[in-house]
Structure 1
Amino acid sequence: MRTIGHWINGGVATGTSTRSSVVYNPATGQQQAQVQLASAAEVHAVVEVARVASEKWRRTGLSRRAEIMFRLRELIDANRNELAALVTAEHGKVLSD
């Protein structure tokens, strides 16, 4: 079964918590993955990383931010079928949505 970890500061991070939760496909009731739950200390650390990143983003020029957002749009468009399949499996949405 697939395990969903944490994405922290631009990369995959393995947490220290041994707690996890099951992700179900609401349309079928089948288990799709397990998600690793974070400890309180990990949540506090991630909030600090996000605060620093937010400050950096605020200081980034408008043209650079636009470049980044357009690149994100391109990546979403290029991977839309895979993203749609993930949303369908994890949230019970139909592909036509």
Structure 2
Amino acid sequence: MPALDASVRTQVLDLLDDIQQRLGTALLLVSHDLSVLRRISDRVLVMKDAEVVEEGPADEVFDRPRHPYTKSLLAAVLPAGPPRGATRPGTPPAAAARPR
């Protein structure tokens, strides 16, 4: 989603999160944008040359990567932002976290 304006991107991700939470659906998201994956994923699968090199809970893969390729991917990007459900100071909570 790098081509989207930051506010539109946030709205799209909030909408996907809301749909997922409200309907209890699973989403399969394929992306090179690690900040999007960190924000919306419960589980992550990392592939290199069409081979799975690491997989597991998103927090584990992002915070304690085991495979050298995963480590190199994470080292090559700026900090990804807060994990799913967390908010940055001064930002409203995600749609799913707001009271109804």
* Same structural fold, with TM-score higher than 0.5 when normalized by the shorter chain: no
Q: Which has the higher helix share?
A: 1
- TM-score, normalised relative to structure 1: 0.26
Larger gyration radius, structure 1 or structure 2: 1
Q: Which has the higher strand share?
A: 1
- TM-score, normalised relative to structure 2: 0.25
